[in-house]
Amino acid sequence: MGYKHLIVGLWCLLALEFAVALSDKYSSRYDNIDLDAILRNNRALNGIIKCILEKGPCSPEGRELKTDLPDALRTECAKCTDAQKRLIRKASRYLMENRANDWKEITNKYDPDRQFSDSFQRFLKSDALL
């Protein structure tokens, strides 16, 4: 009887560890969002930018982005799914190239001392997942 309890206990421990490992990632709810459509739609993009800069209301997507952004910046997106890493790289590059003033405001808000600038630039240049 003790052997069966040990096996059941091990399975429960493994299941718990698996659940904890899964929770170490941000929600994948928006991983399949059509980023190209948002980037082409100034109204939608402006809304998200205003949300993360706390200059306007937030959609559920914007609210989640605003919540996760500081941690993602500090950790080089360690909790991001592969899809989120691709989306963040693409959106960041787009903003840098096409909306430099918005990028500067976002950077000033979330990294005013530029302490994460080098690590985030390395993350952006990493094309391993593109």
Domain annotation for the chain: domains and CATH numbers: 2-125 (1.10.2080.10)
Closest CA to 50 of 99, 90, 96, 93: 99
The pTM score is 0.75
Long-range contacts of 94-102 (CB under 8 A, 24+ apart): 94/39, 99/45, 99/49, 102/49
Q: What is the pLDDT of residues 70-91, one digit of tens each?
A: 888 888 889 999 999 999 999 9
Q: What is the pLDDT of residues 2-43, one digit of tens each?
A: 434 334 333 433 333 444 344 588 888 888 889 999 999 999
112: Cβ contacts below 8 Å, ≥ 6 apart: none
Whole-angstrom CA distances from 83 to 16, 22, 27, 57 are: 25, 15, 11, 25
